[in-house]
Amino acid sequence: MNSDGLLIKIVCVVFGCGIIWTPLTCNAEDKSAEELFKSAQFDFSEYKSTPDIDDLYTVYHIIPSGSPTMDYHKSVYFFGMILGRYKGNIPGSSGYYLSRSKYHPDAVRLTLFTRNNREAEEIKKWIDDLEKDKLIRIIPYVSRKPEKVIFTKHYGGDEYEFRKYLTTYTLIGIQCMAYDFNKSQKIWSDLMDSGGTDITFVEHSNFFKQLDYEEKCKFIDAMYTRKWGHMIINFVLGYDEDK
């Protein structure tokens, strides 16, 4: 049994053996989000955020498996564990971010960028396979097909830099919550309430530390931009506020 809340079943078939990840069904599931994140390891070492301003974007609202008493932060944890199995990468995607879904209190919204419709089909297959293996449940009716959108018509600023920020904050937030869940809540709550916080806390994210110096500076600057900063605040705190 793995401490990350997943159980490995080895399934032998005619052509060999495969590995299927299925949810645990024991009392360990019922831990709080804080307990789950405590000392958790999320390996995002191979993730590269490479969104282009001409990329399509597509959206899924999902609830990961893992707990009979799921909530938003548990969904972030369990989906983070799925991402860790792929070193942070999602097939067909040039970058992605998580936020709170407004269509179910326990769900996360997964927004992905992709180069074209062919690669969007790779994403869809990956998502469908996760649901087929009962690792996630897709909220019906509200997935968005790939389309072109200019985000900065609403949020202002440079489109490329905004997409780069969007596709960076999720992994930083997850790893910071794994370092200290309650302190993470305070860090981004302080930023929301007073406009300032301890920016060095993000150094507890290995993903942040692997960024080059210029990328780190741009991330911090974006986090302090009024119309952009609320994205990571909402993600860490579990809000759905557009401000």
Interval 81-94 mean pLDDT: 98
Of 64, 67, 81, 63, the closest CA to residue 26 belongs to 67
Interval 90-119 mean pLDDT: 98
Query: For residue 60, what pLDDT band results from cuts at 50, 70 and 90?
Result: very high
Give Cα 167 to chain centroid, integer Å.
9
pLDDT at res. 209: 97
How much is the mean pLDDT over the chain?
89
Residues 178, 100, 51: CA angle, nearest 5 degrees: 80
Quick check: 12 pLDDT over 50?
no
Q: Where are the domains of the chain?
A: 30-243
% of the chain exceeding 70 in pLDDT = 87
Cα-flanking dihedrals φ and ψ of residue 238, to 5°? 85, 30
Answer yes or no: are the C-beta atoms of 42 and 80 closer than 8 Å.
Answer: yes
Quick check: 96 pLDDT over 90?
yes
pLDDT at res. 237: 98
Find the range with the poorest average confidence among 50-54, 201-205, 225-229: 225-229
Query: For residue 13, what pLDDT band results from cuts at 50, 70 and 90?
Result: very low
Distance CA 222, CA 131 (A): 34
Residue 110's DSSP bridge partners are 60, 98
Instruction: Please tell me what DSSP assigns to residue 114.
Output: E
pLDDT at res. 226: 87
Query: For residue 241, what pLDDT band results from cuts at 50, 70 and 90?
Result: low
Interval 208-227 mean pLDDT: 96
Distance CA 124, CA 117 (A): 10
pLDDT at res. 129: 98
Find the range with the poorest average confidence among 25-29, 123-127, 147-151: 25-29
Distance CA 190, CA 193 (A): 5
pLDDT at res. 82: 98
pTM of the model: 0.88
Q: Where are the alpha helices (DSSP H) in 180-223?
A: 181-194, 206-209, 213-223
% of the chain exceeding 90 in pLDDT = 84
Interval 170-178 mean pLDDT: 98
Of 22, 47, 14, the closest CA to residue 136 belongs to 22
Quick check: 192 pLDDT over 60?
yes
